[in-house]
Chain A
Amino acid sequence: MSSVVSPIRQPLVKGGKTYHQITEDICSPTERMPSTQWFIAFAVSIAFLGVFAFSVFWTVYWGIGSWNLNRTIGWSWDITNFVWWVGIGHAGTLISAILLLFRQKWRTGVNRAAEAMTIFAVICAGQYPLIHVGRIWLVFFIFPYPNTRGPLWVNFNSPLLWDVFAISTYLTVSLLFWYTGLVPDFATLRDRSKGIRRRIYNGLSFGWTGSAKHWQRWEALSLILAGLATPLVLSVHTIVSFDFATSVIPGWHTTIFPPYFVAGAIFSGFAMVQTLMIITRKVLKLQDYITLEHIESMNKVILVTGTIVGVAYLTELFIAWYSGYIYEQFAFYNRVLGPFYWSYIGMMTCNVLSPQIFWWKKMRRNIFVTFIMSLFVNVGMWFERFVIIATTLARDYLPSSWSYYTPTWVEIGLFVGTLGLFFTLFLLFTRVAPVVAIAEVKSILKTSGDQYSHEEH
């Protein structure tokens, strides 16, 4: 890493921190009693998790009939939520892997939390492919394991099977990456603690001593994992988009889906990182580590990806018209103006129009605007998946079979339930692990700390 940083760059660590202060600031939240705010948030999350458990029970006991899917619309909120959660995960991987390879230093402030978010989002996403099936007790059929039925193999042609591989690989690599980063930080926590806590962290840090050899191997492993994770950023959502792109249903069967889905995924992922970070930095008092600089950088990514998504939306419409293919034309006409027009409006407003305010620097650096925008984007991206899935299925080829869809309480329960699952996991995470990568922040302190980069002036 270069030690020469342009003075034009804003510092990434503020408050004239020393190494010790950094350790204190980041480790202390895991060492003191949680705040009342944390307890309230945790109670709410657990309650939502309870809703999730009950909705899952209801679905399994009664059957998928407890959802409002029908003979025409076989997927709706279930797969919408699945794609939405998978998409959210992408920001974490992008930040930790691609930005690592590109030596983007600002990633150090947010990468830990973003990676945690990735893992929790993928866990949430993974619930849906399981519970959406009609016979969950046989869901192991979907894995290619040796069996006595012939042996009977899975259908390697099916994009749903590719999903299984993509998501499980993604979860594994993300988990490894996240954990690798955590090892030195766990060692720091270990060194500061006593008794049982010390023993646990000792185990978690794999006997890390901080020797030069350790650091060298750690760096190498991080790079290798970054190399592995980088294609995953592109491939996972590409494969998820294949669920739709390889089908014959007009509105699903489009070649634009892979890039469009990946852009959308990064877009929504960054929005979720913003939502989480803005709260976390405030509650855990980490404003010196997750600075306005970080927020602005991420807003730029949101602006870029949001605009890419917008271009994709317009391209879809253009290609539908240009194709001269009546079914395609109708599908997109219907998407915009049909009975689900409100979801299209929601999608366009939240995803394409509203991020345009980030052309103004003032807005990019406004925490309140950023927070509202991050919610907007997440809502918009949810609408996007809903538009693609439900609207398309509702009116496909044969008009006799057209139908409509509204969710039941069970489906709503499952959605808010996974939000509960996600936040429960995230809140626990803030209690047991450093939310900011201590070692990595320290590594950029001498180049991007405000007392270093600016005292020369």
Chain B
Amino acid sequence: MKNNNKEVWIGHNDLNSPELQEMAKQEFANNIPVVDTMADEQVMESSTNRRDFLKYLGFGLGAATVAASCEIPVKRAIPYVVKPDEIVPGVATYYASSFVKGGDYTSILVKTREGRPIKIEGNSLSPVTHGGTTARAQAAVLDLYNVNRLQNPTKDWAEMDTEIKDALASANNIRIITNTNMSPTAQKAMGEFLAAYPKAQVVTYDAVSASGMLEANEVSFGLPTIPNYHFDKADNIISFGADFLGTWISAGEYAHGYAKNRKVDPKAENPTMSHHTQVESYMSLTGSNADNRIMVRPSEQGAAIKAFYNALVGNNMGSELNEKASNALKALADKVKGANGKTLVVSGSNNVAEQVVVNAINEYLGSYGSTITFDRTSNQRQGLDKPMAKLVSDLKGGKVDAVFVMDANPAYDLPEAADFAEAMAKVKTSVFISTVPNETGALCKYVAPAPHFLEAWGDVEPKAGMYSIIQPTIAPLFNTRQAEESLLVWADSSNLNAEADQPYFEYLKANWEANMFPKQNNFLSFQTFWDKTLHDGVFTAPVAASNVRNAADVNTYLAQIAKPGQGEEIVLFETVAMGAGQYAENPWLQELPDPVTRTTWGNYFGIPITWEGGNSMVTYQNLNQEEYKGKADVVEVSVNGKAQDITCIASFGLAANTFSAALGFGRMEVGFAGKGVGTNSMAWLSRDNDGNVQYFNILDAEPKPTGEIDYEFPCVQYHHTFGITGQEDGKEINVDEKTLMAIGEGFQGGLTERSIIYQANLNEVNDLKAKIAEKREFAKHLNDATLYPYEEYQEKFYSQGHHWGMAIDLNACIGCGACQVACVAENNVPVVGKTEVSRHHEMTWLRIDRYFFGDHENPNTVYQPMMCQHCDNAPCENVCPVGATNHSSEGLNQMTYNRCIGTRYCANNCPFKVRRLNWYDYTTADLFGGNEVYVNGEEIPFGADNLTRMVLNPDVTVRSRGVIEKCSFCVQRIQEGKLTAKKEGRSLREGDIKPACQTACVTGAITFGDFNNENGALAKALDSELNYLVLEETNVQSSVHYSAKIINRDEAIS
């Protein structure tokens, strides 16, 4: 097995070719007739006897040598006979495409090397995502090479098509189950299918849906759609539980807009930024970025919306809501009342009445037309919950005889998943169309594998009139057929040319010619229009401005809002990485720490923390008391009568009597990465009276400890706070510092005086500037006490040529983790699995440290991306005995993996702890086999199989066991940029070189550049009094600058 895996193979077709595999096992491509010649009697009589003898001797020696060195695998690398024009070996080719999964959308560029997609970048031409990406989009390239993909249809395609068509012809009730589908051409194909089979109906649902909002907008405006939100135009952002930076509808797009108004102009006398209030039950990514958080129990969400409406219009706020939240909302209402058209209120509620009231609030605040418009409505959530619930009951009643499941997974992600699974047995014909198997697919009779989006054609219309193309970047790896094509085949569509090389491509093109081409005036011929669209990846058609009027009677709906429940509640939420479980296949995302809890590989039962005032409370450094030993307690939780054991974690920012658990875990019919990881919390969901799924529930009983301990608690950070304040004896103290020590109390200032995080409220920016100036002055004073002044050194070594550096704006960073996944993808960073993460063996080059500060009950958060700081006086460099890490003439701290023997002295001496040892053979690149680590019970160690290895970036060395690695500032990109400039005979331009983290960032928090470029973006970013170097007083002269975190907290609101 081991040998087979080492062979180089060129395309997927090699995988299944027995001849090639047979050949690969042979020593030589052709038989060498040694034996025949030797057996020939004439040899002895031939005249060239002596020479032949020497030849055979030589050959014999050579052969013996080759045979003796037994572990040399035969590797084949076959050159192109006819080289395709667009492929230059060693040079990457980029294709514009789109990342789509259900309602998630990102416009992307796909980097391919020698014909294989290896990296996803943002498409800066996109008017929706503006070149930013999400962690989910970044990780999607790994899914292409997922060993668990569906590779063949249940039967031969033609045979299966006939059977399905026969079944369809006789079926009386056909249902197509799908998640949000944003493709206009796919909709057209679906339309043809529905026309061919009038007894078919489409049921669209989303696991985490916006059903309540869609229905509410129909009530209010007559439009069942999601409007266009302008987070950049709002001075006041109020979110009732909408995680719009992490998971809500179009988080990447919203984050881009949001960040624009969050960056502080350091030059301004009185700097401004938007004010963001989050009303929520658990700390979401968005809540962690909010200036003020108002904590309500999940069942109080409706009451909070109602109270806020009443406070705005001057009604009695009532007493349903807890007093603290009520007062805060009153203050908030007073604050935003006057600012007409400058406020944006969003709600993640999935209840119609609540959303109608939110619409009324927005109307009262004049948001429509300014911060909310109906011109570019979003198609990114189309699912309705009620029809899906009805379908489940229809299925149970045996009323449906054919079901087509398109990439959806109702047998896992519905609250009634168990009922659905049971009822599927009653369906005569069931067809599953998807890239990967899932719980629903396992119940279906036919499986029609679809290609991954990087192998497929398609289009997307995420927002009205904003089109985006999906184009293949590699030939399909497996025997797959596009879902749309399958539908058209089964519908016997006359528009599909099944004989064509790529039938769906022709169909797509025809549709664009007929429908999109007429919407523009720039191109006269369709071909030029098509070429341009394909090149750009996006096409924006004009849309008419839409005037909407709110027709809803708000009082009716105010009365419909349910009263808050009693008792202990659980809030169930989607995470940035896992979604509702559709990303569970992906090891990169499984290992991406949750931005807020910093846990990986699973979901955990959040328990609110409270400050008891005593030293016994070590929660602030160590959430479950045993976290730092990789241990956590397991509790039994029962909701809806369904009890499960789940590992718990004390969590900041949970409302009183509220517990939390993430959705999307505990999947069983899934690739190795997701199998059995975490606890399935889908069955804990509930539905409201309208049939919309509610993402909270009441606990049946108080969670009780099982006495069991989870010995593999994979949390990457065990100290969580940086100046959490509490009251003691009437004085404000830093609680975390007090509770740091095992004996007695820590001392005040032990953390907060460190030059790691600087943060201040907006009205104290000038004080902060003075503080930073003073601290930096002091650091400089300390650093000047040297025989080797840094300035001289810098002048001598770096004033000529390049001197690379980076600036990170802590105010722009929202902690989403896209950069971290981008770094993993770009730099072949290994995945290590749950056990290894619980031992703090994670390999990430770039991490996002998360610290809570401020009020201990309801803290603010700062995210700090931390990677190698490329110190010019690097402590790691001078301690390496073999000189494996050294400094480049351009200020880069370099690793020479070949030279590294793994003493770990450099890692010990790194003040930023960014160096990572390959503790085990994570990359399966070791000398001897059998000692690889398994990520999560996979058959072949993750990354050892040839399919997964195709994702590796050929420009970056795969590191072996025992070697230290760390961020290189993407030195391969620096080199590429320099070479390109050189070839073009010019000097480097701004933006020629961007590391993977910078291109991934949706908010523009990371700026890479040359310190010597006085006019560059880096120089501009550094020209700020809010800039500082982390741990400047250690005189390591780091090259990564941070800009201080500013929050706009209004004390009246908390």
A interface residues with partner B (beta carbon < 8 Å): 61-65, 68-72, 74-75, 132-139, 141-142, 152-155, 157-161, 164, 243, 246-249, 326-327, 329-330, 333-334, 336-339, 341, 393, 396-404, 406
Q: Which of A70, A157, A159, A333 contacts B741 (CB 8 A)?
A: A333
- Neighbouring A residues of B742 by C-beta, 8 Å: 337-339, 341
With A134-B961, A400-B866, A404-B628 in contact, is A64–B751 under 8 Å at CB? no
Q: Which of B741, B880, B962 contacts A134 (CB 8 A)?
A: B962
Q: Is the CB of A65 within 8 A of B747?
A: no
Q: Which of B850, B901, B911, B921 contacts A141 (CB 8 A)?
A: B901
Q: Which residue of A lies closest to B921 (CB)?
A: A63
Q: How far is the CA of A136 from the CA of B903 in the complex (A)?
A: 10
Please encode chain B, from 849 to 872, with 1 for each CB lying within 8 Å of some chain A CB and 0 for all others. 111000000000000101000000
Q: Is the CB of B750 within 8 A of A63?
A: no
Q: Is the CB of B747 within 8 A of A333?
A: yes
- Neighbouring A residues of B719 by C-beta, 8 Å: 399-400, 402
Q: Within 8 Å of chain A (Cβ to Cβ): is B318?
A: no
- Within residues 436 to 486 of chain B, which ones have a CB less than 8 A from any CB in chain A? none
- Neighbouring A residues of B902 by C-beta, 8 Å: 64, 133-135
Q: Is the CB of A330 within 8 A of B878?
A: no
Q: Which of A152, A164, A248, A327 contacts B883 (CB 8 A)?
A: A152
Q: Within 8 Å of chain A (Cβ to Cβ): is B9?
A: no
Q: How far is the CA of A152 from the CA of B899 in the complex (A)?
A: 10
Q: How far is the CA of A400 from the CA of B852 in the complex (A)?
A: 11
With A63-B920, A164-B881, A326-B753 in contact, is A135–B963 under 8 Å at CB? yes
With A132-B903, A334-B741, A338-B742 in contact, is A160–B912 under 8 Å at CB? no
Total residue contacts A-B, CB cutoff 8 A: 198
Q: Which of B751, B851, B901 contacts A135 (CB 8 A)?
A: B901
Q: Is the CB of A134 within 8 A of B920?
A: no
Q: Within 8 Å of chain A (Cβ to Cβ): is B717?
A: yes
Q: Is the CB of B881 within 8 A of A70?
A: no
Q: Is the CB of A75 within 8 A of B754?
A: no
Please encode chain B, from 747 to 774, with 1 for each CB lying within 8 Å of some chain A CB and 0 for all others. 1011101101000000000000000000
- Neighbouring B residues of A333 by C-beta, 8 Å: 741, 746-747, 750
- Neighbouring B residues of A400 by C-beta, 8 Å: 717, 719, 847, 849-851, 864, 866
- Minimum C-beta distance from B749 to chain A (A): 6
Q: Is the CB of B880 within 8 A of A65?
A: no
Determine, out of B389-397, B836-844, B971-979, the stretch whose residues face the partner at the interface.
B836-844
A-B contact pairs, 22 of them (CB 8 A): A63-B919, A63-B920, A70-B840, A71-B840, A71-B917, A133-B903, A134-B902, A134-B918, A134-B964, A138-B901, A152-B883, A164-B881, A248-B1034, A248-B1036, A333-B741, A341-B741, A399-B621, A399-B756, A401-B849, A402-B718, A403-B718, A404-B718
Interface centre among B628, B717, B756, B879 (most CB of A within 10 A): B879
The 4 closest A-B pairs by CB, nearest first: A134-B902, A134-B962, A65-B919, A74-B904
Q: Is the CB of A399 within 8 A of B751?
A: yes
- Neighbouring B residues of A326 by C-beta, 8 Å: 749-750, 753-754
Q: Within 8 Å of chain A (Cβ to Cβ): is B1031?
A: yes
- Minimum C-beta distance from B924 to chain A (A): 12
Additional 20 contacts, C-beta under 8 A, given A243-B905, A249-B909: A65-B836, A71-B913, A71-B915, A72-B913, A134-B963, A135-B900, A155-B881, A248-B1034, A329-B747, A330-B750, A330-B751, A333-B750, A334-B741, A393-B908, A400-B847, A400-B849, A401-B912, A402-B621, A404-B628, A406-B629
Q: Within 8 Å of chain A (Cβ to Cβ): is B875?
A: yes
Q: Is the CB of A62 within 8 A of B962?
A: no
Q: How far is the CA of A381 from the CA of B866 in the complex (A)?
A: 37
- Minimum C-beta distance from A401 to chain B (A): 4
- Neighbouring B residues of A404 by C-beta, 8 Å: 628-629, 718
Q: Within 8 Å of chain A (Cβ to Cβ): is B933?
A: yes
Q: How far is the CA of A247 from the CA of B878 in the complex (A)?
A: 9
Q: Which residue of A lies closest to B741 (CB)?
A: A337
Q: Within 8 Å of chain A (Cβ to Cβ): is B931?
A: yes
Please encode chain B, from 15 to 27, with 1 for each CB lying within 8 Å of some chain A CB and 0 for all others. 0000000000000
Q: Is the CB of B1031 within 8 A of A247?
A: no
- Minimum C-beta distance from A139 to chain B (A): 6
Q: How far is the CA of A333 from the CA of B904 in the complex (A)?
A: 26
Q: How far is the CA of A329 from the CA of B754 in the complex (A)?
A: 11
Q: Which residue of A lies closest to B840 (CB)?
A: A70
Q: How far is the CA of A400 from the CA of B846 in the complex (A)?
A: 13
**Count of B residues near A, CB < 8 Å?**
71
Q: Is the CB of B628 within 8 A of A70?
A: no
Q: Which residue of A lies closest to B904 (CB)?
A: A74
Q: Is the CB of B851 within 8 A of A399?
A: yes
Q: How far is the CA of A141 from the CA of B875 in the complex (A)?
A: 21
Q: How far is the CA of A401 from the CA of B722 in the complex (A)?
A: 13
- Neighbouring B residues of A337 by C-beta, 8 Å: 741-744, 746
- Minimum C-beta distance from A70 to chain B (A): 4
Interface centre among A132, A403, A406 (most CB of B within 10 A): A403
Q: Is the CB of A70 within 8 A of B839?
A: yes
- Minimum C-beta distance from A339 to chain B (A): 5
- Minimum C-beta distance from A287 to chain B (A): 45
Q: Is the CB of A61 within 8 A of B911?
A: no
Q: How far is the CA of A326 from the CA of B1030 in the complex (A)?
A: 15
Q: How far is the CA of A400 from the CA of B840 in the complex (A)?
A: 12
Q: Is the CB of A247 within 8 A of B875?
A: yes
Q: Is the CB of A71 within 8 A of B900?
A: no
Q: Is the CB of B882 within 8 A of A249?
A: no
- Neighbouring A residues of B882 by C-beta, 8 Å: 141-142, 154-155
- Minimum C-beta distance from B645 to chain A (A): 25
Please encode chain B, from 950 to 963, with 1 for each CB lying within 8 Å of some chain A CB and 0 for all others. 00000000001111
Q: Is the CB of B962 within 8 A of A64?
A: yes
- Neighbouring A residues of B879 by C-beta, 8 Å: 157-160, 246-247
- Minimum C-beta distance from B1007 to chain A (A): 22
Q: How far is the CA of A57 from the CA of B920 in the complex (A)?
A: 14
- Neighbouring A residues of B908 by C-beta, 8 Å: 74-75, 247, 249, 393
Interface centre among A136, A164, A397, A399 (most CB of B within 10 A): A399
- Minimum C-beta distance from A75 to chain B (A): 6
Q: How far is the CA of A336 from the CA of B750 in the complex (A)?
A: 14
Q: Is the CB of B918 within 8 A of A63?
A: yes
Q: How far is the CA of A393 from the CA of B743 in the complex (A)?
A: 19
Q: Is the CB of A397 within 8 A of B1031?
A: yes
Q: Is the CB of B743 within 8 A of A158?
A: no
Q: Within 8 Å of chain A (Cβ to Cβ): is B916?
A: yes
Q: Is the CB of A398 within 8 A of B904?
A: no
Q: Within 8 Å of chain A (Cβ to Cβ): is B96?
A: no
Q: Is the CB of A134 within 8 A of B900?
A: yes
Q: Is the CB of B750 within 8 A of A329?
A: yes
Q: Within 8 Å of chain A (Cβ to Cβ): is B120?
A: no
- Neighbouring A residues of B919 by C-beta, 8 Å: 63-65, 69
Q: Is the CB of B913 within 8 A of A160?
A: no
- Minimum C-beta distance from A116 to chain B (A): 30
- Neighbouring B residues of A135 by C-beta, 8 Å: 900-902, 960-963
- Neighbouring A residues of B746 by C-beta, 8 Å: 333, 337
- Neighbouring B residues of A393 by C-beta, 8 Å: 908
Q: How far is the CA of A398 from the CA of B749 in the complex (A)?
A: 14
Q: Within 8 Å of chain A (Cβ to Cβ): is B408?
A: no
- Minimum C-beta distance from A402 to chain B (A): 5
Q: Which residue of A lies closest to B911 (CB)?
A: A397
Q: Within 8 Å of chain A (Cβ to Cβ): is B907?
A: yes
Q: Within 8 Å of chain A (Cβ to Cβ): is B740?
A: yes
Q: How far is the CA of A329 from the CA of B751 in the complex (A)?
A: 11
- Minimum C-beta distance from A334 to chain B (A): 7
Q: Is the CB of A338 within 8 A of B740?
A: yes
Q: How far is the CA of A157 from the CA of B883 in the complex (A)?
A: 9
Q: How far is the CA of A61 from the CA of B927 in the complex (A)?
A: 10
Q: Which of A158, A164, A336, A401 contacts B878 (CB 8 A)?
A: A158
Q: Is the CB of A153 within 8 A of B629?
A: no
Q: How far is the CA of A330 from the CA of B960 in the complex (A)?
A: 36
- Neighbouring B residues of A397 by C-beta, 8 Å: 754, 756, 911-913, 1031, 1034
Q: Which of A63, A137, A341 contacts B743 (CB 8 A)?
A: A341
